[in-house]
């Protein structure tokens, strides 16, 4: 099967059988998992004892062979098996006098290179990009552009050139049409980098949610540790939501909307996000009536909705006239984008104190205080039912075990049996913190409007500050820090680390798209303009053609990757068509 190899164990020891156990290199402080018992060899028939077992190829394994007599450890082997490979482990005695046992791993049939489909897909998309770039260059040549005008609708062609290829100096009959001019002006006033940032995070999230070609590195980390693609996506979405809150609220208040009216919009939008989230995460199209007992309450949109409510209301409550324009006198001008909002910072710090107290001081039955582990076979199996510590306990206590996510990412490697929801209650506190840091990025853009060097330098400084805090909290270690990086828990170190990368990424996109205009943001700009529609649409139509179809070989990475990339590309095309028709679904 996919991500597996065949291991044949040959036991040439005449006196005893073998017990084979293994532990994954991705499993921290885990118990060995028993795999297979290998009978002793038959001396009379000169036939070794054999047993076959499937082993995981996603991570390196440590194999442990114990003898059935006295349960003595005979050998230990660390090896990273290859997908669909065929291996033999030969166990024999080197010397009858010393009873020295040797364990030799032999490759019977080499594994396949499962990463070739990724390389092929990369080359295909790079080829498409090269064709588009060459086409753009040709469109700058007058004879070619005139020929295209004759073949296509001149007005539509010129509008396409102006809006997508960045040639605002072109003048013809279209310039007299006020509608395109107004649309073009509105497009230039809107920061394309923000929509590009949002769209980039969203499209990768869609690809990962569709399966990511079934590659292990496109899946969420089992617990602590390295930040794969999926671990960063939702956090970036939260970050840029905070940035958008700052800009949108400032715009609404500047145009004369009352705070009461804006608050009503905030409450309504939050309600819709939470309601849509509950509907999306509880699909029941062909299974009959949905049971309230099994209704999952937490989810991505639910957390976004509640986070939006808190951060937007906080911004609306404490915003003051004149702060963004710089008319208020500041004791420290270098901190003019921070000091006016000290009540907000105090509120956020109080939330973090609450998170720390609940996480490390709340008593959890059967678990050590302050436990941050995955439970299961982790921590040598001492706390099998303590998945998530206080975070998991609060969700199970307040929501019920059946109303939260039943298949957490820790269940594969750590073999946890307790339900745990990565979008649970306690982690929402740090999601609010993440959105607030994004809000800070928005304040920087507002305070230093058109001062590109100031904006980029402050993004860089914030990135450094967040990176230093992460280094301190984690001790630059995957498992041994004060607070490890953990997406399931949304730990503080996870938020600071993701914010560090988010500030840097926003800096780069802002520089390329809005400062130098070397990149229009396409194609990510289009789904970024219709993010809610794309996210809900990809969830609702996940199992419908043409986003999914029956595969000839369900154990092929190539087929899964083709299907997932096709589905993701379709949503990019859909968002582009909606953009061209000026259809935007806003909540």
Which residues, 6 or more positions from 106, have their beta carbon under 8 angstroms from its beta carbon?
A: 87, 88, 89, 90
Which residues, 6 or more positions from 480, have their beta carbon under 8 angstroms from its beta carbon?
A: none
Across 59-152, the runs of DSSP E, i.e. the strands, are 61-67, 73-79, 86-95, 100-109
Separation of alpha carbons 93 and 300, rounded Å: 57
Which residues, 6 or more positions from 468, have their beta carbon under 8 angstroms from its beta carbon?
A: none
Kindly give the interhelix angle for 427-447 and 300-318, rounded to the nearest 10 degrees.
50
220 is catalytic: yes
The reply to whether omega before 546 is within 30° of 0 (cis) is yes
Kindly give the interhelix angle for 192-209 and 492-510, rounded to the nearest 10 degrees.
130
Catalytic residue among 220, 538, 557, 560: 220
Type and span of the H or E element at 36: strand 33-38
Which residues, 6 or more positions from 227, have their beta carbon under 8 angstroms from its beta carbon?
A: 221, 485, 487, 497, 498
Full DSSP string of 398-424: HT-GGGS-SS-THHHHS---S---TT-
Q: Look at residue 102 and give its three-state secondary structure.
A: strand
The DSSP letter of residue 295 is -
The DSSP letter of residue 140 is T
Question: How many angstroms separate the first and last alpha carbons of the chain?
Answer: 44
- Asked if 394 and 354 count as a contact pair (C-beta separation under 8 A), the reply is no
Separation of alpha carbons 549 and 539, rounded Å: 16
CA distances from 561 to 207, 429, 544, 572 (A): 9, 35, 17, 16
Q: With the CA atoms of 488, 426, 338 and 497 taken in that order, what torsion angle do they form, in degrees rounded to the nearest 10?
A: -10
For strand 4-11 and strand 49-56, is the pairing parallel, antiparallel, or unpaired?
antiparallel
Q: How many residues are there in the chain?
A: 587
- CA 255, 260, 263 angle in degrees (round to 5)? 90
Beta bridge partners, 10, equal 50, 90
Separation of alpha carbons 564 and 547, rounded Å: 8
In the chain, DSSP finds a helix count (H) and a strand count (E) of 17, 8
Separation of alpha carbons 311 and 242, rounded Å: 7
Separation of alpha carbons 24 and 27, rounded Å: 5
Type and span of the H or E element at 321: none
- Asked if 312 and 435 count as a contact pair (C-beta separation under 8 A), the reply is no
Strand order of the β-sheet with 18-24 is: 33-38, 18-24, 61-67, 73-79
The tokens for 44 are 């009379």
Separation of alpha carbons 100 and 13, rounded Å: 11
Question: Which residues are marked as active site?
Answer: 220
């Amino acid at each position: 099967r996919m991500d597996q190899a065949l291991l044949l164990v040959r036991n040439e020891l005449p006196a005893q059988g073998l017990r084979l156990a293994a532990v994954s290199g991705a499993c921290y402080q885990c118990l060995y998992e028993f795999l297979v018992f290998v009978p002793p060899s038959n001396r009379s028939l000169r036939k070794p004892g054999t047993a076959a077992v499937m082993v995981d190829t996603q991570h390196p394994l440590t194999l442990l062979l114990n003898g059935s007599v006295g349960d003595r450890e005979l050998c230990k082997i660390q090896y990273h098996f290859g997908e669909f490979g065929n291996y033999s482990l030969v166990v024999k005695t080197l010397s009858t006098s010393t009873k020295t046992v040797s364990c030799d791993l032999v490759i019977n049939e080499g594994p396949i290179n499962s990463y070739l489909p990724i390389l092929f897909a990369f080359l295909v998309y790079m080829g498409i990009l090269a064709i588009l770039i060459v086409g753009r260059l040709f469109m700058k040549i007058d004879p070619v552009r005139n020929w295209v005008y004759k073949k296509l609708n001149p007005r539509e062609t010129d509008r396409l050139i102006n809006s997508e290829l960045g040639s605002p100096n072109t003048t013809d009959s279209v310039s007299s049409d006020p509608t395109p001019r107004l649309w073009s002006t509105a497009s230039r006033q809107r920061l394309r980098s923000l929509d590009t940032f949002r769209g980039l995070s969203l499209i990768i999230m869609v690809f990962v949610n569709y399966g990511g070609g079934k590659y292990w590195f496109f899946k969420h980390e089992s617990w602590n540790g390295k930040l794969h693609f999926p671990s960063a996506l939702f956090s970036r979405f939260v970050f840029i939501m905070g940035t958008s809150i700052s800009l949108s609220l400032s715009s609404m208040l500047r145009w004369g909307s009352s705070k009461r009216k804006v608050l009503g919009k905030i409450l309504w939008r939050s309600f819709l996000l939470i309601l849509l989230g509950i509907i999306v995460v509880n699909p029941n199209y062909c299974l009959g009536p949905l049971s309230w007992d099994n209704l999952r309450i937490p989810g991505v949109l639910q957390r976004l909705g509640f986070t939006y409510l808190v951060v937007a209301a906080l911004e609306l409550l404490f915003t003051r006239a004149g702060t963004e324009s710089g008319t208020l006198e500041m004791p420290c001008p270098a901190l003019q984008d921070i000091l006016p909002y000290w009540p907000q910072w105090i509120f956020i710090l109080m939330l973090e104190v609450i998170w720390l107290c609940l996480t490390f001081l709340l008593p959890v039955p059967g678990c050590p205080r302050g436990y941050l582990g995955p439970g299961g076979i982790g921590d040598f199996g001492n706390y099998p039912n303590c998945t998530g510590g206080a975070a998991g306990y609060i969700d199970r206590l307040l929501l019920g075990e059946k109303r939260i996510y039943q298949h957490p990412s820790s269940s594969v490697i750590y073999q946890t049996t307790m339900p745990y929801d990565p979008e649970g209650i306690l982690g929402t506190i740090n999601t609010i913190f993440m959105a607030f840091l994004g809000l800070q990025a928005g304040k920087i853009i507002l305070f230093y409007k058109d001062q590109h060097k100031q904006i980029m330098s402050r993004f860089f400084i914030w990135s450094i500050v967040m990176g230093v805090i992460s280094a301190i909290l984690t001790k630059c270690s995957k498992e041994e820090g004060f607070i490890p990086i953990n997406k399931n828990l949304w730990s503080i170190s996870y938020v600071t680390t993701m914010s560090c990368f988010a500030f840097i990424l926003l800096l780069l996109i802002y520089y390329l798209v809005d400062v130098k205009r070397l990149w229009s943001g396409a194609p990510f700009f289009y789904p970024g303009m219709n993010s809610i529609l794309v996210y809900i649409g990809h969830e609702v139509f996940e199992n419908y053609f043409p986003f999914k179809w029956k595969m000839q070989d369900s154990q092929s990475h190539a087929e899964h990757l083709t299907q997932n990339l096709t589905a993701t590309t379709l949503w990019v095309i859909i968002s582009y068509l909606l953009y061209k028709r000026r259809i935007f679904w806003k909540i």
